[in-house]
Structures are given as C-alpha cells and as structure tokens.
Chain A
C-alpha cells in the first residue's frame, strides 16, 4: 500500500503547465483528456513508478516535486509511441524532454546524460575524436578508402552551449574533476 499524503493547494506550482506548454512542440499539453493511451503503449511502462498519463496529470496539477522525484522522466526509451498514438495530439515524449530540462536546471542530471554533453563539448561528437584517438580513427578510415572526418570548430560548439545555458554544466563538471 502506498502511503497517503496530503498536499496543500498553496504548495502546487500553478505556472508549471504554462512553462511547459509555451514551448514549441509542447503546446498540445493542455488538451490531455487522461485517456491513458500513452501509458498502455509505453515501452518502459513496467519499469517506471509514475505512468505517462499520471505524469501529465501531475504536471497539469502543478505537482512538480512528484514528477521530478519519479524515475519516469529519465527512464523513457524515446520510442515516441505515446506521442504517435495520443488522440489529442499531445507530444508526451517532447514534454518529457522539457521536464528533464527542468530537472537538469536544478542540477538533477544523471551522469549517463551529462557525460555525453561533456564529450560533445570536448570533441564536437559523441565519440572521442581528438589527439591520438583521432589519428587512430583516421588511419583506419584511410585503409578503407574513406575520407578524413573534419572536426567542427569547438569554439563555435562551446559558444552555443554557453549561450543556451549549458556553460555552468561544463564548468561544474570541470570543478568536480578538480
């Protein structure tokens, strides 16, 4: 049995639904009718503690902590079946991405995710491609008759990361290393 918990209305985050639904791709959020199609077809439904339609209900009510504490937002396999089948056109998988964005802003990012961003920041790619690694890869490619892969300008990549607010994430992980 789950423990019952009372949440006062003044503890709800009433702006959450608008914060999410104003973003391109998530405008349909407010149309949810709680039919549960998203949950019935969810690839990871047996692994999560809050089913997709319950995440949306919590989001509409402003139960931010319940959502951010559930494992539902980071367990998604990104199969997009929820979005595909929603009769009201709610793009649940994109809304979930925006919820992960909110968790990230609060510093709650699983290492499996933040490490990829670091790799992109350092290499421009999700695969290490600098120094000795770069030489090894290109020698292999040359043997196969494939052209060398050109590296992107990392200053440009990091400028974009910084301007979109990911500068702190990069800085923080550097500090953690030290």
Chain B
C-alpha cells in the first residue's frame, strides 16, 4: 500500500519573496510526485542562521520553535526548501530536545503569545525526502525526459550536511544524496576537488571571501576535461551567490565563465516533463542556453 505523503511546507523568506520561480519548480515536482503540501499560515523567517543566531541564540531558538509549533498544531512534519531554514529548524529541534532548561525558557516566552513547542514534528529538506530508496525508484518511473546527455556538478553547500552530529543526513565528507537524485534522472555527476567547498554567502563582512570561493569552484569546473552543463544547488543563497558572482568574475578575470547554476527541483521538473514556460529557466545572470539546446526543450 502506498502511503500518501503530506507535509507542512516551510517556505522561508528568500525563495517565496525573491525567487518564486524556484518555488514553482519545487511545487511542480511535488505535485507530480504526489506529495501533498499544506501552507504554514503565520510562519516567519526560520530565522536565518547567520545574523539572528549570531546576535542572540535565545531569540533564534524561540522564533524557530514558534515556527515548529505552528507545524505541530497542524499535526505534520515540516518540509523545507532552503538549506538555511533546514539548518535552523533542525538544529533548534535537536538542541531543545537535549536541554530541558532551554526548552522551558523557550516555552515560557511562547506561552504568552499562545504557542507551545513540544518537539513532535520532524524537519526534512526535500533532498532527504527525494533521495530515499523508494522515492528514487518512483522518480525513475516518472522520468519522461531523461537528462542522459548532461554532465552535472552537484554543490551540496554547508548547512544541508554539517554538522552531521545534528543534521544526521548524509556522509558529511562524501555525500551522495544529491548525486543519487541526479543519477536517476539520467544525468552524470562529476567528481571535482572543490565539491564540498562553501559558497561564501554567509561570510558577510568580507566579500572577497565569497569571490575567492566562487572563483575556486567555477574555474575548476570550467577547466575540467569533460565540461559540465550546469552546477546544481539546493539552497537559494548558494544559487544566487554563484549566479551573481560568476558573472562579475567572468569580466574581472577576462575568462569565459558560463556554467549556469540551477536549483535541483528545476532539473527534476525538466526530467519529469514540466514545460519550460512554467520554469523561467532564463531568470538568472548566467543563462542555461546550451543546456536548453542540448535537451531540446
């Protein structure tokens, strides 16, 4: 018997408010994969793990617990579509589960605004969901446009897999989940030295760090023997970081850096037969022109 999957969808801020085309791609994939999504009314920013955690861990945990409490009231597990949201919500859940004092402190504040955090909803990132064995075979069955000719570089980013002691998600030094999804869609995934490097988006005080990290990865990929058709990420921060900085670096270095960066659900949607009109693939600085031509879509 097939159990229907239903989740409380945690959208976060960046994707729904700045890059809704990424949300569309994800929703199309979920519809085809028969995953039911319920909107989380009243949810706020996760809150994002850079500034709020840095300034006040209690505020970060309490706002996170408020979001989790909304899902608990809906009686559902939470599905995130951004690695930052995933990290915050999962870390808050794990840490509050380990510390009764902090748990009580958070609840003493939430109580006054009508919430209670219990710790009953689990937190998932869609990569975790789609890379499950049974989901991979379902995905494989539903592929109508195999990505057979594509060479893809998977960028895992940091917050999806580290720290593994909390995320408990994939092998932190040799992750395979994204590759396994891309492989069932028919794409080849390449091995490259800087695969596990950070995109630098969260290093907010010094933009050189971001430029250096983006340069390291993109230049390596451009110079590979078998060229990649795209880099794929699962977090809007990584997507926007590479897309924006690659274009600028291309001019600065006077080198043709033309690897488009896609959000994994966009490639999944293509393979599952979603029309390109619904996907807005050209909504980025580095256009996936060659990839579109290669796939004849």
Question: Which A residues fall within an 8 A CB radius of B?
Answer: 23-25, 43-44, 47, 71, 74-81, 83-84, 89, 91, 93, 97-98, 100-101, 104, 109-110, 112-114, 116-117, 120, 124-127, 129, 137, 140-141, 144-147, 149-150, 152-153, 155-157, 159-161, 163-166, 169
Contact = CB atoms under 8 A, between A and B. Distances in A.
Closest 4 CB pairs between A and B? A24-B99, A77-B203, A116-B51, A80-B162
Contacts of B173: 84
Interface string B83-109: 000000001000110110110000001
B16 A149 contact: yes
Interface stretch (B18-26, B125-133, B260-268): B18-26
Contacts of A149: 11, 16-17
B48 interface: yes
Interface residues of B, number: 64
A125 to B, nearest CB: 4
A152 B43 contact: yes
Nearest to B102: A24
Given A127-B14, A127-B18, A101 B98 contact: no
A110 B63 contact: no
A98 B57 CA distance: 7
B52 A120 contact: yes
Contacts of A164: 56, 58-59, 62, 109
Given A79-B198, A166-B56, A144 B42 contact: no
B176 interface: no
B113 A24 contact: no
Contact of B162 (A83, A109, A112): A83
B98 A166 contact: no
A144 B204 contact: no
Interface of B: 11, 13-14, 16-18, 20-21, 23-24, 27, 39, 41-45, 47-59, 62-63, 66, 91, 95-96, 98-99, 101-102, 109-110, 112-113, 158-159, 162-165, 172-173, 197-198, 200-206, 208-209, 213
B52 A77 contact: no
A141 B209 CA distance: 34
A44 B51 contact: no
Given A98-B57, A112-B204, A126 B48 contact: yes
A79 B235 CA distance: 14
A75 B203 CA distance: 6
Given A76-B203, A84-B162, A160 B62 contact: yes
Contacts of A166: 55-56, 59
B29 to A, nearest CB: 14
Contacts of B91: 25
Contacts of B57: 23, 25, 97-98, 101
Contact of B24 (A74, A125, A144): A144
A117 B54 CA distance: 10
A145 B3 CA distance: 27
Given A79-B158, A101-B55, A141-B20, A157 B44 contact: yes
A140 B202 contact: no
Contact of A126 (B14, B98, B99, B102): B14
A71 B96 CA distance: 30
Contacts of B17: 125, 127, 129, 137, 149
Contacts of A77: 158, 198, 200-203, 209, 213
A153 B209 contact: no
A163 B109 contact: yes
28 contacts: A24-B96, A24-B102, A25-B91, A43-B197, A43-B198, A44-B206, A47-B208, A74-B54, A77-B198, A77-B213, A78-B49, A78-B50, A78-B203, A80-B163, A83-B163, A84-B165, A112-B51, A116-B50, A116-B51, A120-B45, A125-B45, A127-B17, A129-B17, A137-B17, A145-B24, A147-B39, A157-B63, A165-B59
